[in-house]
Structure 1
Amino acid sequence: MELKIIFSAIFSVFFVGSVSCHSNSSLPLVIWHGMGDSCCNPLSMGSIKSLVEKNIPGIYVNSLEIGSNIIDDMANGFFMDGFTQIKFACDIIAKDPKLKNGYNAIGFSQGGQFLRAVAQICPNPPMNNLISAGGQHQGVYGFPRCPGDNSTLCNLARELLNMGAYDKFVQENLVQAQYWHDPLNEAEYRQYSRFIAIINQENSVNETYKKNLVKLNKFVMVMFGKDTMVEPKESEWFGFYVPGNTSDVYTLRESKLYIQDKLGLKQMDADKKLVFLTAPWDHLQFTDEWFEANLIPYMK
């Protein structure tokens, strides 16, 4: 009996020690793709997932699929109301047992502002670090081209925007209109925007949104230095056109959002939680080496 107890103790110590030596202490990662893309495209999000897994062995990655299949996921990026998408994503995250103790997140293009809204609206389970790669946090004023493989959806989105971004039908049926920010008509933008003006607290401040965002450990914003898609590219760092023109741009620290601290960004800046990175390429273009050196550290 004594030998059996001793053997059990030795086996237990060896086995547990062996597992702990090889266990992965990194938080799981949630990915949200951009417009015209899907969760599992092997050339985009699939490639990102593989790159992360190569650099952080054993990490669990959940690439969000907004819909019941890849086709729905791609279409919903154009036509599912922004807040409906946020709720869909929050439900996926809350129901995933592997995320229950917290996670890091990376969003690409519009996935960046969507994950920022997740951090504001759905604090449980907690998001630790948020990486926004090309997210348009002050919206866009222009639709020059569309990434992804579906030119039909892109052309339809462009036609709807041409009807009028703040038209009730367009706002209710086109995601991109919900983060359209017209600097020549700021009052109209604040009144009719169904998404970006709301999460940016343009008209009223939801203290819960602010409190939740400040809980982030790091908020990493990547601006693409030669971006030809996002207008203005400074939106990726919370900058935007000065009201009344489409040439002069203000920075985050010059914005009312920051000065009045409507989102908690001023507080986060003081706490050194904001990270500003520049990728010296066009929209969503970067090398594996740049990704590994600049973004992987925030996923560990």
Structure 2
Amino acid sequence: MVHLVPFNRNTSSRCILALFSALCLASLGATEELNGAVHFIPDISVSSFSNYGGSSNDGGGLYQGFKNFLSGRLVGSSENLPQTEDVPQEAVPGNPVPRPVVIWHGLGDSYDSDGINRVGVTLRRARPGTFVYAVRVSNSSRDDSQAGFVGQIKDQLEEVAQEIKNIPELQGGFDAIGFSQGGVFLRGYLQQYNDPPIRNLITFGSPHNGVASLPQCENNNFICRRRNELFEARVYTASAQTTIIPAQYFRDPLRYSEYIEMSGFLADLNNERANYHGGGSTVDALVLQERSAVEPVRNKTSAANFAQAQRLVMVMFDADVTVVPKESAWFQEVDKTTGALTPLEQRPIYIQDWIGIKRLGDRGGLIYETLPGAHMEIKESDLTRLSLKYLG
């Protein structure tokens, strides 16, 4: 059974201010259990919720209901995972000190959860002596978890950047791993701050091109369908874009002009707003800019920071139905009407190098990886393999 994180009075009031009161009521009235909450596979597994849920007996309904939305809550079997005391904490004499690693958890998780702690154990087991720092917006586990749902991404990034800058072990630069939305936030740190710099960034199931739709509901789940309708109808309001974290990277290509006008985070991170010149309500208007005479606006700070990076490794889960479309994890565009797929390298953001990512790709620093399974199902062996291959 998934533990319900209490949804405190302050958070609830902010939800209402964000025009999500109907969503709150719908969630509080839901009585169904979460379906498929945890999929255990050898070593490490991550919650993958295919339906919304909640309990009528507590105030955690809305929080728990959206926990599946880009969730990155790591869990695992203690029988299959190494314990901290089994892992060497010091670097092997004669070997160079491993580069430190920063982790940013996904929605609904917290910096000190068992799963995130076990990720740290796995990284130190692969490279003894690795300093691992888990990003936190609050030292309170509950508040840190709730901050993944309620708040402003830009404010949280600024706080995290200052915290990282004050950690002595990170001053020479570090590698980073982002789970689900945490991967997009770490890319935000790289592009907008990067002091100290990220050298290699691995993102697992992270919606770099945003989320175009909420996860599909079962046909007979009226509450889920109604909740999705309410969320999507209100997602591009000022209140939602300054209060609800997932709304700030919700990118519906059929409502592209609304997204450009109202987006509280992703449109600026991807430098789309500066390069949009109107002409249509869908993303096709943006694609046409590649052929136009309009000089693209480049984010020089972002480009300079990407120039310091060695790799961006984007991991997609082949059966992901939580991030919609799943190809967003590879920065790809999917036409919601036809299903046509546009690879990153064929998109204006890459061709015109709006954020500096083309420079990274030109020197072989853009890596695509696929893992089998649903959103955030990760084997310890895969985490070890990818970290040894791309970090350090």
Are 2:255 and 1:185 aligned? yes
TM-score normalised by the chain length of structure 2: 0.66
2:347 to 240, 248, 255: 255
Cα–Cα, structure 1 residues 297 and 174, in superposed 2: closer, same or farther, change >3 Å? Answer: same
The alpha carbon displacement at 1:215 in A equals 1.5
Are 2:264 and 1:171 aligned? no
Is the Cα contact below 8 Å between 1:178 and 1:194 reproduced in 2? Answer: yes
Cα–Cα, structure 1 residues 160 and 22, in superposed 2: closer, same or farther, change >3 Å? Answer: farther
Measure the CA separation in 2 of the matches of 1:142 and 1:215.
33
The aligned counterpart of 1:289 is: 381
Q: Tell me, what secondary structure is at the counterpart of 2:155?
A: helix
* Paired residues for 1:151-230 under 5 Å: 161-204=231-274, 205-230=298-323
Are 2:105 and 1:33 aligned? yes
Measure the CA separation in 1 of the matches of 2:234 and 2:307.
35
The alpha carbon displacement at 1:159 in A equals 8.0
Query: How many corresponding residue pairs?
Result: 272
Measure the CA separation in 1 of the matches of 2:203 and 2:169.
22
Measure the CA separation in 2 of the matches of 1:37 and 1:158.
22
2:208 to 131, 137, 151: 137
Give a deviation string over 1:191-228, Cα, whole Å, max 9, x none: 11111110000022321122112220111110111111
The aligned counterpart of 1:298 is: 390
* Paired residues for 1:270-285 under 5 Å: 270-285=362-377
Which residue identity is paired with 2:148? Answer: G
Give a deviation string over 1:64-91, Cα, whole Å, max 9, x none: 1111311111111011201111111101
The alpha carbon displacement at 1:248 in A equals 2.1
Give a deviation string over 1:88-113, Cα, whole Å, max 9, x none: 11011101011011110000000000
* Paired residues for 1:72-151 under 5 Å: 72-144=143-215
Is the Cα contact below 8 Å between 2:92 and 2:128 reproduced in 1? Answer: no
Cα–Cα, structure 1 residues 162 and 201, in superposed 2: closer, same or farther, change >3 Å? Answer: closer
The alpha carbon displacement at 1:24 in A equals 4.6
The aligned counterpart of 2:330 is: 237
Is the Cα contact below 8 Å between 2:259 and 2:267 reproduced in 1? Answer: yes
Uncovered stretches (5+) of structure 2, i.e. residues with no partner: 1-90, 217-223, 275-297
Is the Cα contact below 8 Å between 1:38 and 1:73 reproduced in 2? Answer: yes
Q: Tell me, what secondary structure is at the counterpart of 2:251?
A: coil
Measure the CA separation in 2 of the matches of 1:90 and 1:184.
34
The two structures, once aligned, show a CA RMSD in angstroms of 2.2
Measure the CA separation in 1 of the matches of 2:232 and 2:320.
22
The alpha carbon displacement at 1:254 in A equals 1.6
The alpha carbon displacement at 1:275 in A equals 0.8
Measure the CA separation in 1 of the matches of 2:178 and 2:378.
15
Is the Cα contact below 8 Å between 2:194 and 2:305 reproduced in 1? Answer: yes
Are 2:359 and 1:267 aligned? yes
2:124 to 40, 48, 53: 53
TM-score normalised by the chain length of structure 1: 0.85
Is the Cα contact below 8 Å between 1:160 and 1:174 reproduced in 2? Answer: no
The alpha carbon displacement at 1:161 in A equals 2.0
Cα–Cα, structure 1 residues 158 and 23, in superposed 2: closer, same or farther, change >3 Å? Answer: farther
Measure the CA separation in 2 of the matches of 1:239 and 1:103.
27
Which residue identity is paired with 2:161? Answer: C
Measure the CA separation in 2 of the matches of 1:23 and 1:134.
33
Q: Tell me, what secondary structure is at the counterpart of 1:21?
A: coil
Measure the CA separation in 1 of the matches of 2:92 and 2:383.
28
Is the Cα contact below 8 Å between 2:213 and 2:252 reproduced in 1? Answer: no
Measure the CA separation in 2 of the matches of 1:226 and 1:69.
33
Measure the CA separation in 2 of the matches of 1:280 and 1:251.
20
Q: Tell me, what secondary structure is at the counterpart of 1:130?
A: strand
Uncovered stretches (5+) of structure 1, i.e. residues with no partner: 1-18, 146-153
